[in-house]
Amino acid sequence: MKPLLKTTLGRNLHLTAFADRPAMGAAAADLVHHEVTQCAARSRPCRIVFGCAPSQDDFFAALRRQASAAPAAWRNVEVFHMDDYIGFEASHPQSFRRYLHAHFLSAVNVRAFHPIRGEAPDAAAEAHRYESLLRATPIDIVCLGFGENGHIAFNDPHVADFDDPVWVKLVTIDEACRQQQVNDGCFPRLADVPRQAATITLPVFSHAGLLCGVVPTVRKAQAVRNALLGPIGPHCPASLLRLHPRAHLFLDHDAASLLPDLQTTPAAAG
């Protein structure tokens, strides 16, 4: 499908907006699958960090099809995820590990999956363990979404640090982010959303070889505008994408609806 908008921002942020979510997800999946196949011939595994949220459903549906049709390259992939709630076991309905298994890992054979163990008795030690795994060799791809408050992973504005000294930390989730979990249908009430999580930090994104963002829905439109057109800084953690040397952002029409180019032209190239 022809995109509604295609342009480049910042150092090298490639922005593409589509009319609907399936087209958005398919384009992102094409990029990630191509990157994995390019990595397949080298000696070390391809290492990918995935975000886990309903906003990623269309991306994972398309990526499952791609990986299932060409499974050999994916057998050399090591998978990480961005975050998980403290105290949640992998079997919990809202565990991000469970989401990733349901939407991708149950259908695709990868070399290894490295989970954040939310139920670990010592959460600080678990964060340190996971950081050691992430730092062991380079992260090739991070697949991410934006929060309604501009967060990436659980780096809400009040805890985001572009120069964070650690790669995994324990955070208190802010109310706007917790409300988003209700808006997404993940929890029935704000009181049900956990307050504590373990998350990768912003330097993980900065050091990754490729960032692939997938952001749908009108509820993210203001965060998208802030990230792409506002000041760069931790008040909108997603603005980090404009500093990355190799980043792609895929939007649906609703998420892109506050961008001037989309408001004035049906298609633009840059």
Other C-beta atoms closer than 10 Å to the C-beta of 260 total 9
Residue 265 pLDDT: 41
pLDDT tens digits, one per residue of 186-234: 899 999 999 999 999 999 999 999 999 999 999 999 999 999 999 999 9
Q: Which positions of the chain have pLDDT values less than 50? A: 264-270
Give the global pTM: 0.94
Give me the domains of the chain, ranges plus CATH numbers.
21-261 (3.40.50.1360)
Residue 266 pLDDT: 40
Helices (H), the chain: 21-39, 57-69, 71-74, 96-100, 123-136, 175-183, 202-207, 221-229, 260-264
Residue 264 pLDDT: 39
